[in-house]
Structures are given as C-alpha cells and as structure tokens.
Amino acid sequence: MGFQQGLSGLNSASKFLDVVGNNVANANTVGYKGSRAEFADIYANTLASTNVQVGIGGRTSNVAQQFAQGAITSTNNPLDIAIQGNGFFRMIDPAGSYSYARNGQFQLDREGYIVNNGQKLAGYIANNDNQLVTGATPQPIQIKTSNIGAQATGGSTQVNAGLRMGMNFDARSPIVNRGTGTVSLTGLVLDTAAAVASTLTYQTRVVDSAGRFHTVDVQLTKTADEVVGVSPETWSVATRLDDLGTGGTFTPTGTILQFTGGILSSGSSHNVSYKLGSPPAAYGTTPLNFTLNFAGATLGAATVAPNLTTNDTSLLNTSVAVSDSNLDSTTPANTTAAPVPASQRTYTQRVLDPDGYPVDLTITVEKIGDHQWAVGYTSVPSTTPLGANPGGPVNLAVPTIPITAGSLIFNEQGQLLSGSPLTAQYEYSAGEFMDIEINLSGLTETASAFTAGTTEARSTPSVTPSDPSSYTHSTSATVYDSQGVPHTMTMYFSKVAVNTWEVQTSFDGGEPVTQPGYVTFDAAGKMQPGGLDQFFYTSPIPSPSGAQTPLAFNTFFTGTTQFGSQFGVNELTQDGYADGSITGLSIGKDGLILGRYSNGQNRTIGQITLFNFANPQGLQPLGDNRWAESFASNQARLGTPGTSDFGVLQSGAVEDSNIDLTKELVDMITAQRSYQANAQTIRTQDQMLQTLVNLR
C-alpha cells in the first residue's frame, strides 16, 4: 500500500505552508528576503530500472532565499539607508565577527558608532586631513561629535590654498589721477636788468597718475624790456620733460609772463601737456597734464630762485618696490660681525628728491640664518646731475651712512612672512628729510639661482577709505587666523591708467598698504600675466588673541576681468574657518558621509562600503536580518556604492521586504489544497486496506 507517498506529500505540503507562513510573518520586516520551498521526487534505489517504476513520494529539497530588490520607502531618519541594487552592509559585532545585512535601519550608539541592533556598520574612515583611507580594511564608522577646531586661511593642504577672488573691474571707470596737478614757483624774483634773450632754468619733479616720477625743467627767457606806458616786460616760458641732463630741446608753453611796474600782470598760469611713452611711464595716463603757477612773481634788482612746490604728495609717499626676485636658499649664512659678500645680494634704484635731484638707493640683503636675511640700505646723491637749478637748495654731497633697517623672515615654502615694508630716510637738504618706503614683498627664497627681478620707484599715497573719490572699487573678505578668529581684509582698487589698476589692502581697518605691482588687462579685458594675479599676503597687524603671527596666505585674482559692466565679485572662496560643532549629517549615493558643522564647513567622516557574493543564496541565515559567509556563498567581495556591479545608497529610506503578500496568500491556499489531497490518498489507501482485511 502507498501510505509513504501520501505521508511524504503531507510533509512537503506542511513545509510549503511553513515557508509561506514565515514569508507572511516577515512581510513588514525591513530588508527581509523571502524564501521559496523547492521540492524533489523520490524513487527507490535499485540496480535495475524499468519503465514501470513508481515513485515513493516527494521531499523538500531546498528552502531557497530570493534576493530580489524590495520596494524603497522614505523615512524621516537620515541614518536610514536603503540599497538599490546588489550588495550587503557589513556589520561587526562586539567580538569583531562579520555578518551581512540589507536592513538599513541605523542609529548612533553612545560612542557615536553607526549601529543596527548592536552591530556596527563598516566602511572607510577619513583621516585628520579629511581624506579617506581606502587602502585599509573597512572599520566601524564612528561619528565624532567633538568640535572640528579652527583652520587659518591658507592652512589647508589643498592646491591653491588661501583666498581666491574673481572680479570684474568696470572698464568705463574714470582714472583716479593722483599725479601732479600744479607746480607753483613761489617767491620768484626776476632781475629786471637782465639782458633780452637771457635765460634762467629751474628744475622740479612731477608724478603721473600711476605714481611714476618725472623731472621737469622750466626755462624762462627774457623777450622784451618794459617801455613805460607802452608795453610790459615779457618773459617766455618753456619746459622739458625727463631730459636726464642730455641737453634736449625745450618746448614753449605758448604763454608769456608780462610785468607792468615790476608786478606780474599776465601769464600767471601755464598749462603743460606731455605725451608719455614706454618707458619710463608705461602705466601712467597720457598725456601728462599739469599747470605751472607763477602767481606772486615780481621783478627786482637781482634774481631770486623760486621755491618749486607741487600739489602731489610724492614727498610723503616715495616707495621703492622689488618684485619677481628670488634669493637662493642655499646661500651661505654670515655668522660674523663683518659683511661677507658671498652672503649678500643688492638692489639699486634711482629716485628723485623733492627738488628733482637724483638719489641712488642701494638695498642690501644678507643671509644671517636659515630663512633669515638682514636688510640694510645706503642712499647717496647721484654723481650725475640732471640739470642746472641755480639758486635752489643745496644737494648734500656727503653719502648717508649705511643703515641696517631690519630682517626678512621666510617660511619653508620660500614665501616672505615678515620684514616688509621698511622705511629709509634721506636728508636731501640741511634739516630736510624724505622717507622712502622699501617694499620687498616681491621676494622669495627657494633653492634656485638668485634673480634680481624688477626694481621700480613711484609715489604711492594710501587711499582714504572714507573718501570714495580716492579709489575706484573696494571689496572685503573674511579671513581666519590659526585660532579661528575672523579678520576683515579690505581691498581697494584704483584705476590709475588705461587697463591698469593699483591694489591696496587694509587689514582689520588699518591703514591701506600698497601691494607690489598692478593688475593689468589686455585690450580684450583679460588679465595679463605678471601682475597681481597671485601674491602672498602677510598681515601687517599682529594677532591680539595670541594666534600664530603673522597671518600669511596666498591670494589669487584668477578669473578677474575688465569689461564695461558694473564692478562685482564673481568668486570668493577661502580655506580658513572658525571652530565648529557638528549640526547634521548627509549620506550620498556613493556612501560618502559628510558632517555639517556650525561654522559652515562640511567634512568627510567616512564612506559606507558594500560587499557582494558569487552566490548570495549560499549565505547562512543568522536571524535578525543578517547572514554569514559560507563555503557555498564564496568569499565576500568589497566595493563602494555605484561602482562595478554594486548598487547605490539612498539616505532617509529603507528597503522593504520583497514579499508579495498576494502571491503568498495564493500559495497558502495551494499548500492547503495539497495537504488535503495528500491526506485523501492516505484515507483511500486505508479504505482499500480495510476492504482487504474484511475478505473471508
């Protein structure tokens, strides 16, 4: 009798119902993967086989898990993570054992680890430089809630770290002309007894709009004696620009001084215009216009030379700037008291004193230690006069004693940290002094040959922040010192010539400091190289809070243009920040975990990794929505979300069970019918056996 077939069918149907019941029970279990009961028939083992062999029932051959994708449901928890596609989270228990899950219901434990039911989520960890350590075995991811600390501007390891400003300068802006407007010849007395055609020459200096110095020779020539009651005494006026003592031709101004009764009656004001070339005035406006003012001039018994004064501020703002120069860091240091030529480098520049006389300024830097150079200067009258100046102040013939002015300090990258600018003082007349600002911020110190760079003299008056007419545009940026204290860096841009802008910088409201050079543009409005497209800025004010001093960083104007539209800042970034505490998290599709901090910074905390198997159905179920690696599954294969065949992550969502409840209910009915049918075969067999027993 075939009771065995019916009994095996009851067992199979019961197993089928168990599987369906388990699937239904986990229909709401996040990350659950449904199972399928798989069956096989059973035949008796014999040495012979016939085509009339009848099977002896069926059996459950396997309960196979089905790893199809479950539906994604959004949640309000940013730590909930769903996997869309292949892969498993690696979970690490307190003993360090691994398991794998698709359940992305995570939260933080008391130590800040991302956990699920006591199991820690594994991934790559970011180091102190905010870089992922991807070469190591994935570790438990910990969210540190401590403050991230502060970083000074320019203190990161990023390429082009520091301050970046991309702007547009308005090409329509008028030129801010700080040059000479008027030259006054005060106190001039002309000898009325001088013969007709006799000449007198006086000399002074003028400044163009960009601060470049020029010499002006003023020549007066007597053209007629006075005829009382008929005609005045007359003197013609001519000028000569930048003659440099070569005896060039004077240019008449077109006006005449007229004296009646010894008093100037006409010609007190003369307009002078010169077209500037390159050199010496590549940056200045052209033409150079100024006025000669003879008001108060008289006739007398003897000539009295005038006091030539200009309305510019060049006497107070003479500067010498050295740019694009490199000091060889391998230069031997001088450790003795006496100068050592092998340790020295020099720069020379001729400047003009207020009376137009030349002064040769020699700047000497001498290496005295690692990244440290002493600075000295000598200023002497030039041995080559620029022209006659009868009756003017006497130019001192005694050279100024060499003076040590300070020292330059460079960092390991060869950038100047301190020591510039410094002031040289020159006595151009008895008891009369002029200050010359020496700006050496264009120096670097690297292990390469010495380069002299460019040395230039000019007049650089500071802008007046409260007077918008003294500059064209201004903008500010917040920078941070090493303790995270914010500072305000204000830049003033003055259009001093066509396509040429001077830059001055104020730090925390201090007096604006002129940077070494100009921002220049070509005819298409694009920034020309070699200007201030990049410079190393050093704060002139020590930090009052005790932070690292000075605050120094690279400043970039990359992308700055000059077009006929309003001034605007198109890009403003810097890598410094104040201290900050964590305020939130975000998890990307690629598994990157970013922390958001109260100081506006985002910092990489880690990256969630995924694992996959050659045969996921071979994984060993552990319960709690976890599986363990087995021989059948093969070894776990590591990857990051979105790469290779790995799926992507969705934060703030979970993957639902992949159970189709409708199908399970239908399968339940099928299992019930199968169970009933198998029970009926047993009943039928029983009836047949009973009939057989009842035979007599």
List, for residues 349-392, the tens digit of each pLDDT value: 888 777 667 788 889 999 999 999 999 888 777 655 444 443 33
Helix (H) or strand (E) holding 274: strand 269-274
Q: What is the DSSP string of 195-231?
A: PTT-EEEEEEEEE-TT--EEEEEEEEEEEE--BTTTB
pLDDT at 393 over 70: no
Higher pLDDT, 619 or 461: 619
Give percent above pLDDT 90 in the chain: 40
Residue at token pair 């001077």? 502
Q: Which residue has the tokens 């409260």?
A: 466
- Chain centroid to Cα 547, Å, comes to 21
Contact 470, 354 (CB under 8 A): no
Q: Quick one: CATH architecture of 163-175+463-574?
A: Sandwich (2.60)
The stretch 592-606 carries a mean pLDDT of 90
Q: Tokens 């501020």 correspond to what residue? A: 313
**Cβ atoms of 574 and 50 closer than 8 Å:** no
Sign of the Cα torsion 640, 641, 643, 645 reads positive
If you classify domain 182-312 with CATH, what class do you get? mainly beta
For 433-476, the DSSP string reads EEEEEEE-TTEEEESS--B--EEEEEE-PPP-TT-GGG-SEEEE
For position 398, what pLDDT does the model report? Answer: 44
Residue 692, classed as helix, strand or coil, is helix
| DSSP assignment letter at 19 | H
**pLDDT for position 530:** 61
Average pLDDT of the segment spanning 509-523: 81
Tokens of 96: 């360090």
**Crossing angle of the two packed helices 3-25 and 661-693, in degrees rounded to 10:** 160
Answer for the pair 359, 350: CB distance below 8 angstroms, yes or no. Answer: yes
- Give whichever of 118-127, 377-386, 667-676, 687-696 has the largest mean pLDDT: 118-127
- So what's the pLDDT on residue 394? 41
Q: What residues have CB less than 8 Å from 103, skipping those under 6 apart?
A: 30, 31, 32, 89, 116, 625, 626, 654, 655
Residue for token pair 């870089």: 131
Instruction: Provide the 3-class DSSP secondary structure of residue 6.
Output: helix
Report the Cα 589 to chain-centroid distance in Å: 28
pLDDT at residue 46 tops 70:
no
pLDDT recorded at residue 380: 77
| Token pair 């055609």 in the structure block, residue | 197
528 falls in which pLDDT band (50, 70, 90)? confident
* CATH 2.60.98.20 residue ranges for the chain: 163-175+463-574, 182-312, 315-459
User: Does the pLDDT of residue 396 top 50, yes or no?
Assistant: no
Q: CB 259: neighbour CB atoms within 10 A?
A: 20
Q: What is 634-690 written as a DSSP string?
A: ---EEE-TTSTTB-EEEETEEEPP---HHHHHHHHHHHHHHHHHHHHHHHHHHHHHH
CATH topology for 315-459 is Tick-borne Encephalitis virus Glycoprotein; domain 1 (2.60.98)
**Cα(639)–Cα(645) distance, rounded to whole angstroms?**
9
Indicate the pLDDT class of residue 629, thresholds 50, 70 and 90.
very high
Six-digit token pair at 620? 């060993």
Inter-CA distances, 221 with 191, 202, 297, Å: 12, 12, 14
For residue 670, give every residue at least 6 positions away whose Cβ sits within 8 Å of its Cβ, in sequence order, or none: 16
* Token pair of 574 as six digits: 């810097």
Average pLDDT over residues 573-578: 91
The pLDDT value recorded for residue 687 is 84
pLDDT at 594: 93
- Closest residue by Cα to residue 141 from 163, 174, 117, 119: 119
Asked if pLDDT for residue 628 goes beyond 90, the answer is yes
Work out the average pLDDT over 279-308: 78
What number is the average pLDDT over the span 595-610? Answer: 90
Mean pLDDT score across all residues of the chain:
85
Average pLDDT over residues 672-683: 84
Q: What is the pLDDT of residue 284?
A: 59
